[in-house]
Amino acid sequence: MARMGIVSWVALLGAVSLGGCSAGLSGAARATLLHAEQMEIFTVDPAPQIDGNPHPAPASQLFHEHRILGRAEVTDAGERARLGRIVDDSTHRFEEGAAVPDCFSPRHGVRVRRGATQVDLLICYQCSNVHVYAPGGERDLATRDVQGKLDPIFAAHGLKPAPRL
């Protein structure tokens, strides 16, 4: 009986520390990601600036200040759902008092729409940070490294992330 109690506590602590499926995105943002009617994926230049100045590229070639290297529409509903689950399952809130990493060199972007709601995610697996742009404001979430699961999906759409610096 005591052994079962220890196993239960270990499982509970693991779920808390890894964030669980609802600890990251919530509400309309999470529903939009998981049930997207439209999805566009991006590979982006990890540097938002060149020599301290914003990219000179036109706004249509930028994804939240990062130059778009490639973009593709994910038209298959099953693939949208799978990609949404991968991202949702990997995100979680930073622990209370934890510093948000400041290196942020994202190489992946995801834009989802459901009805009138749009959510954009800019993902950096180098520092395990996701910047979320959603109704109600922007926020940072932590992520587990699922780049190995995302890269084949991006590659199937002809997209290759920028190399790590």
In a domain, 8, yes or no: yes
Q: How confident is the model at residue 134, as a pLDDT?
A: 92
Report which of 122, 120, 124 is spatially closest to residue 134, judged by C-alpha positions. 120
Q: How confident is the model at residue 39, as a pLDDT?
A: 98
In a domain, 86, yes or no: yes
Q: How many domains does the chain have?
A: 1
The type of residue at 62 is L
Q: In whole angstroms, what is the distance from residue 122 CA to residue 45 CA?
A: 11
In this predicted structure, the answer to whether residue 19 has a pLDDT above a threshold of 90 is no
Task: State the sign of the Cα–Cα–Cα–Cα dihedral 85, 27, 90, 112.
Answer: positive
Grade residue 125 by pLDDT with cuts at 50, 70 and 90.
Answer: confident
In a domain, 161, yes or no: no
**Can you give the pTM of this predicted structure?**
0.79
In a domain, 163, yes or no: no
Range of the domain at 69: 2-156
In a domain, 164, yes or no: no
In this predicted structure, the answer to whether residue 7 has a pLDDT above a threshold of 80 is no
Q: How confident is the model at residue 12, as a pLDDT?
A: 28
In a domain, 165, yes or no: no
Q: For 121, what's the count of Cα atoms within 13 Å in the CB-facing half-sphere?
A: 29
Grade residue 21 by pLDDT with cuts at 50, 70 and 90.
Answer: very low
Q: What pLDDT, in 10s, does the model give residues 39-98?
A: 999 999 998 877 777 778 888 999 999 999 999 999 999 999 999 999 998 887 766 666
Least confident among 12-16, 45-49, 102-106: 12-16
